């Protein structure tokens, strides 16, 4: 049995999509964790029948959260719209076993403060002709690490940030579970 921890701070549509993708795979189990106790992702977890829990930012920073992941024998960590920085000790415990998705073609439109709609607003404001997704392992900088997968989508001159968000989410739903499946098959 491989145990996957999904960390999410917000709506959690990717978390739900990932859980659904693996629902017939009996050798993989999920637990969803959020740093926001009222995040919609926890409602989704409840509805999906997936174990879930919230934690405090201080517990991430002081190692309490990491101790919990170790005690629960977590094998792999998926960041699906998770907005806090991962502490160095966690990177040491899970080398190349923490994967993040970012809704742009990194290194463009990454870094602290660049998340969700802010990314798509910046892409449209800059008149970019394409955007996309980046799936990458984590190092100790925001939105950096080794790129595992990238793919693009055209941005039309008439596209609003919401249009770009929609197109990018479609890419996320299609590719993120497949990339996770490939990564955990190599554990
Ligand atoms: C996703 O688009 C993800 O790429 C992005 O947050 C969104 C979460 O949506 N992540 C970042 O911006 C990380 N810097 P969701 O909660 O509906 O899955």
Whole-number pLDDT of residue 53: 98
Residue 120 annotated as catalytic: no
CA 97 from chain centre, in angstroms, equals 13
Whole-number pLDDT of residue 113: 84
Strands 28-34 vs 147-154: parallel, antiparallel or unpaired? unpaired
User: Could you please report the per-residue DSSP string of 66-131?
Assistant: HHHHHHTT--EEEESS--SPPPHHHHHHSTT-EEEEESS-TTTT-STT--THHHHHHHHHTT-SEE
Pocket test for ligand 1, best of 81, 143, 180 (most atoms within 8 A of CB): 81
Q: pLDDT, tens digit, for every residue of 124-163?
A: 999 999 999 999 999 777 667 899 999 999 999 999 999 9
Task: List the single range of 90-94, 117-121, 138-142, 181-185 with lowest mean pLDDT.
Answer: 138-142
Question: What does the alpha-carbon distance between residue 142 and residue 139 come to, in Å, rounded to a whole number?
Answer: 8
Pocket test for ligand 1, best of 99, 115, 133 (most atoms within 8 A of CB): 115
Q: Which atom of ligand 1 is nearest to the CA of 168?
A: 2
Whole-number pLDDT of residue 142: 66
**Ligand 1-lining residues (CB < 6 angstroms):** 8, 10-14, 80-81, 101-103, 115-116, 119, 143, 169, 172
Q: pLDDT, tens digit, for every residue of 33-90?
A: 999 999 999 999 999 999 999 999 999 999 999 999 999 999 999 999 999 999 999 9
CB 178 within 8 A of CB 149: no
Whole-number pLDDT of residue 111: 87
Q: How far is the CA of 150 from the centre of ligand 1 (A)?
A: 15
Neighbours of 152 (CB within 10 A): 13
Q: pLDDT, tens digit, for every residue of 11-45?
A: 999 999 999 999 999 899 999 999 999 999 999 99
Is the bond leading into 107 cis (omega within 30 degrees of zero)?
yes
Q: How far is the CA of 110 from the centre of ligand 1 (A)?
A: 12
């Amino acid at each position: 049995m491989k145990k996957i921890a999904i960390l999410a701070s917000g709506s959690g549509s990717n978390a739900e999509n990932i859980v659904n993708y693996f629902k017939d795979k009996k050798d993989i189990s999920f637990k969803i964790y959020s740093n926001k106790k009222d995040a919609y992702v926890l409602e989704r977890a409840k509805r999906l029948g997936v174990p879930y829990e919230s934690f405090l930012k201080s517990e991430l920073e002081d190692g309490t959260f990491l101790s919990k992941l170790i005690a629960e024998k977590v094998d792999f960590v998926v960041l699906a719209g998770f907005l806090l920085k991962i502490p160095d000790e966690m990177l040491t415990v899970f080398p190349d076993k923490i994967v993040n998705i970012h809704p742009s073609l990194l290194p463009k439109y990454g870094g602290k403060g660049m998340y969700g709609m802010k990314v798509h607003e910046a892409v449209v404001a800059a008149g970019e002709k394409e955007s996309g997704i980046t799936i990458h392992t984590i190092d100790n900088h925001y939105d950096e690490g080794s790129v595992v997968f990238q793919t693009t989508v055209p941005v039309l001159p008439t596209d609003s940030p919401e249009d770009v968000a929609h197109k990018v989410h479609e890419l996320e739903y299609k590719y993120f579970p497949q990339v996770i499946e490939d990564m955990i098959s190599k554990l």
